[in-house]
Structure 1
């Protein structure tokens, strides 16, 4: 597989309601913190390609992911070291963006 291979890497995402971040994000209506979703994308990229994220070029949060909801993370190579990430829950896109690896 080369760096511009269009075959995506897909993995499930789920954050247990007992995760400690939910206590402060937000106590009356917990949602998965954006940083956890970005970290999941970075870890998936390392698992898929052995690449460390150098920077998140852009990220657009479109809808929240709630505790215990199942979502899907998809990574697609867009060139030498650029990767597109998308988080979906069913047909709803929750997050999309671009990362650069080193």
Structure 2
């Protein structure tokens, strides 16, 4: 799934004035939306590991890659990467706190 955060996004003015950077929470919101798009509503989640290694600037296109990891009897877990071109800007895990139907 590809996405772009426009320069007029309401989270940008305070993050950082004069040199806006897309906040990590906005990137994670797009990751969760991509997972829910494929699997339906998820309910309560945990993010046991998330790394932001490069900034995402307003207007830059990013791509979300999601790999599901399913273990029998264990809540659903997904590993994600967010890339700008071939450069990883964020990665981590999302885990449902209860099994997803």
The alignment's TM-score, normalised by the length of structure 2, stands at: 0.86
Deviation at 1:50, TM superposition (A): 1.2
Q: Tell me, which stretches of 5 or more residues in structure 2 are unaligned?
A: none
Q: Which runs of 5+ in 1 are unaligned?
A: 1-10
After superposition, the C-alpha distances for 1:65-87 in whole angstroms (9 at most, x for unaligned) are 00000010111101140100100
3-state secondary structure, aligned to 2:7: coil
CA deviation profile, 1:10-64 (whole Å, cap 9, x unmatched): x001100011111001112101100011111111111111141511111000000
Match of residue 17, structure 2, among 18, 21, 27: 27
Partner of 1:58: 49
Residue 93 of structure 1, aligned match among 74, 83, 88? 88
Q: State the alpha-carbon separation in 2 of the partners of residues 91 and 47 from structure 1.
A: 23
Higher relative contact order (CA 8 A, sep 6+): 1
Number of corresponding residues: 92
* Aligned equivalent of 2:26: 36
- Cα RMSD (Å) of the superposition? 1.1
TM-score normalised by the chain length of structure 1? 0.85
1:73 aligns with: 64
